[in-house]
């Protein structure tokens, strides 16, 4: 009869023990310092099961043992000592447990410090949205080259200027010519996963989501993964073409639905409340897309009656997630506030634990964020993944950590870093301009707050900042702050936003009222702010 063996997964490799092992004894035997804890079935030793997945396996193959675990299980699922006890097996002890040291062992130290002052990096970007990351890296790297993937049938001089004139950032026009000069290559955006996979296969050190980007950009695959992991999923209809979409919307007229496109360039996720409300958008979409609208696929998701929306913002390294992460609340298209958590709350951590093995198989070494809607009864729905630098709060993440540049270097080398936050809380305000939707925008930033303003797709001429239109609804940057209290972080970010000048500048200075409502809801579900 098959049984479960405790297992630890690190760097994509599975280390399997016996029923008598704990995860600690497995780590000791193989000299492991981290890794994901789970189980492997004896009849399928290459299979990896999270703690929750192990419970489902137990219920199916060892129902009598499953019955003995009832009432003893924590929210995250099965533990090795609970399983061993149910099997009547005495667990092995680690060396430390057998012979406790006379004095406490010293705290584990972070990975060896990295000196970047003699290192060279290339930032491979699309559209200039993550140019500010290159600027931040340039504070510590000897040399930072910035490449914009601007190949186009009709190149423009405007796009060619993005990244030009910035101190310590070298704009390059040929990625392949300079590739061998770089010690590391950064991909802060997605849509280049196969290129990342190729470069890693050739021995280059790469920061980025790799093929893991599919979890974000292939929304059908994302839903399939949710099903395979038996995670809650919103009711979803996959419309085939605009006519099919309109028919389905007509049948559900008056309900709150969310439209998600498989190609972000057509439109971002959009809320539907009635045919009357959405008619101008649908008419415009059909006109813009043309005959492709007859076959384009659009996902229609029914509203989840949620108490709050929360998420993890941090990094994933071969399926493992960084601690000292940010758990926060985004007010859509307006801003963000977050708190540093040494480990994410269970309601967030469970999603990470489930997706860790998936991301490990896809070669993931980069930013990772989740959007989770939690119902009043505490059921978490993972609605979207962000497999790139999130926006927000990516603009504040690169400033919040004292060792951000060093940590990203370590991630590119497959090392899970010890992030060093400067403060406990952070806040961000999104800056937009109606003028910027179709025109270049001049942005005036006092020197005293330059560090706290993160611009997108910008250039510098004669000491002045100009942002090139980016097709992102006038979103040209963000202002950020961090502090030891949330109130102080909010006060700082509001004060800094007031000092920025730009044509038709717009931001919502009341967004944190809505954020505080989310914080109160989160505390009801164990997310202590």
The predicted structure's pLDDT at residue 13: 85
Give the strand order in the sheet containing 297-302: 236-240, 297-302, 257-261, 270-272
- Quick one: pLDDT band at residue 160, thresholds 50, 70, 90? confident
Domain covering 120-215: architecture: 3-Layer(aba) Sandwich (3.40)
Question: What integer best gives the mean pLDDT of the chain?
Answer: 93
| Length, in residues, of the chain | 529
Query: Is residue 359 pLDDT above 90, yes or no?
Result: yes
The predicted structure's pLDDT at residue 519: 97
The predicted structure's pLDDT at residue 350: 95
What is the pLDDT averaged over residues 242-259?
A: 95
Please tell me which residue, 98 or 83, carries the higher pLDDT value. Answer: 83
The predicted structure's pLDDT at residue 100: 62
The predicted structure's pLDDT at residue 111: 47
The predicted structure's pLDDT at residue 99: 72
Query: Is residue 448 pLDDT above 50, yes or no?
Result: yes
- Tell me the per-residue pLDDT of 412-447, one tens digit each, with 9 for 90 and over: 999 999 999 999 999 999 999 999 999 999 999 999
Query: Is residue 403 pLDDT above 70, yes or no?
Result: yes
- Tell me the per-residue pLDDT of 33-54, one tens digit each, with 9 for 90 and over: 778 899 999 988 888 898 888 9
- Quick one: pLDDT band at residue 101, thresholds 50, 70, 90? low
Can you say how many angstroms the Cα of residue 393 is from the centroid of all Cα atoms in its chain? 10
**Residue 88: both structure tokens together:** 């009547």
Lowest pLDDT segment from 90-99, 250-259, 444-453, 501-510? 90-99
Give me the residues paired with residue 261 across strands: 298
The predicted structure's pLDDT at residue 357: 93
The predicted structure's pLDDT at residue 247: 95
Find the DSSP H helices in 326-460: 346-361, 394-400, 404-412
Give residues with Cβ within 8 angstroms of 291, minimum separation 6.
none
The predicted structure's pLDDT at residue 110: 46
The predicted structure's pLDDT at residue 71: 80
Name the phi and psi angles at 360, rounded to 5. Answer: -60, -40
The predicted structure's pLDDT at residue 151: 62
Find the DSSP H helices in 362-510: 394-400, 404-412, 486-498
Sequence ranges of the domains in the chain = 4-98, 120-215, 235-302
Query: Is residue 109 pLDDT above 60, yes or no?
Result: no
- Tell me the per-residue pLDDT of 120-148, one tens digit each, with 9 for 90 and over: 999 999 889 999 999 999 999 999 999 99
Half-sphere exposure at residue 252, Cβ-oriented, CA atoms within 13 angstroms:
20
The predicted structure's pLDDT at residue 107: 38
The domain defined by 235-302 folds into Dna Ligase; domain 1 (3.30.1490)
- Quick one: pLDDT band at residue 517, thresholds 50, 70, 90? very high
Query: Is residue 96 pLDDT above 90, yes or no?
Result: no
What is the pTM for the complete model shown? Answer: 0.78
What DSSP assignment string belongs to 307-327? EEEEEEEEEEETTEE-SSEEE
């Amino acid at each position: 009869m098959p049984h479960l063996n405790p297992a630890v997964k690190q760097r994509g490799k599975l280390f399997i023990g016996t029923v008598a092992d704990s995860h600690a004894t497995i780590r000791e035997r193989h000299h492991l310092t981290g890794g994901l804890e789970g189980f492997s079935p004896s009849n399928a030793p290459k299979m990896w099961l999270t703690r929750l997945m192990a419970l489902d396996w137990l219920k199916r193959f060892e129902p009598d043992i499953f019955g003995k675990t009832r009432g003893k299980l924590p929210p995250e699922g099965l533990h090795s000592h609970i399983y061993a006890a149910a099997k009547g097996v005495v667990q092995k002890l680690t060396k430390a447990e057998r012979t406790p040291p006379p004095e406490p062992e010293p705290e584990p130290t972070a990975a060896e410090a990295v000196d970047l002052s003699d290192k060279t990096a290339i930032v491979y970007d699309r559209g200039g949205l993550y140019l500010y990351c290159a600027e931040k890296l340039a504070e510590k790297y000897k040399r930072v080259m910035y490449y914009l993937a601007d190949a186009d049938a009709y190149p423009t001089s405007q796009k060619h200027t993005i990244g030009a004139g910035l101190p310590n950032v070298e704009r390059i026009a040929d990625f392949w010519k300079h590739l061998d000069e770089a010690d590391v290559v950064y991909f802060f955006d997605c849509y280049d996963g196969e290129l990342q996979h190729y470069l890693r296969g050739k021995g280059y050190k790469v920061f980025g989501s790799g093929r893991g980007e599919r979890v974000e950009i292939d929304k059908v695959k994302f839903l399939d993964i949710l099903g395979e992991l038996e995670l809650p999923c919103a009711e979803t209809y996959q419309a085939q073409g605009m006519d099919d979409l309109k028919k389905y919307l007509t049948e559900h007229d008056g309900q709150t639905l969310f439209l998600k496109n498989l190609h972000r360039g057509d439109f971002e996720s959009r809320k539907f409340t009635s045919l009357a409300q959405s008619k101008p958008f649908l008419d415009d979409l059909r006109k813009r897309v043309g005959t492709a609208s007859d076959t384009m696929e659009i996902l229609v998701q029914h509203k989840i009656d949620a108490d709050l929306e929360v998420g993890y913002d941090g990094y994933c390294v071969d399926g493992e997630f960084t601690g000292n992460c940010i758990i926060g609340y985004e007010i859509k298209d307006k801003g963000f506030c977050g708190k540093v958590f040494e480990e994410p709350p269970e309601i967030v951590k469970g999603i990470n634990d489930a997706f860790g093995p998936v991301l490990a198989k896809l070669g993931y070494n980069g930013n990772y964020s989740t959007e989770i809607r939690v119902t009043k009864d505490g059921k978490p729905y993972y609605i979207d993944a962000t497999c790139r630098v999130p926006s927000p709060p990516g603009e504040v993440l690169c400033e919040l950590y004292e060792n951000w540049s060093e940590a990203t270097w370590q991630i590119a080398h497959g090392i899970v870093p010890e992030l060093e936050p400067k403060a406990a809380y952070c806040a961000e305000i999104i800056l937009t301009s109606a003028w910027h939707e179709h025109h270049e925008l001049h942005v005036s930033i006092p020197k005293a707050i330059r560090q706290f303003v993160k611009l997108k797709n910008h250039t510098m001429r004669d000491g002045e900042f100009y942002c090139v239109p980016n097709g992102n609804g006038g979103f040209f940057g963000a202002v950020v702050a961090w502090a030891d209290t949330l109130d102080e972080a909010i006060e700082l970010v509001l004060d800094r936003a007031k000092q920025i000048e730009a044509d038709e500048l717009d931001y919502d200075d009341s967004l944190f009222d809505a954020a505080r409502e989310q914080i109160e809801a989160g505390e009801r579900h164990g997310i202590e702010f």
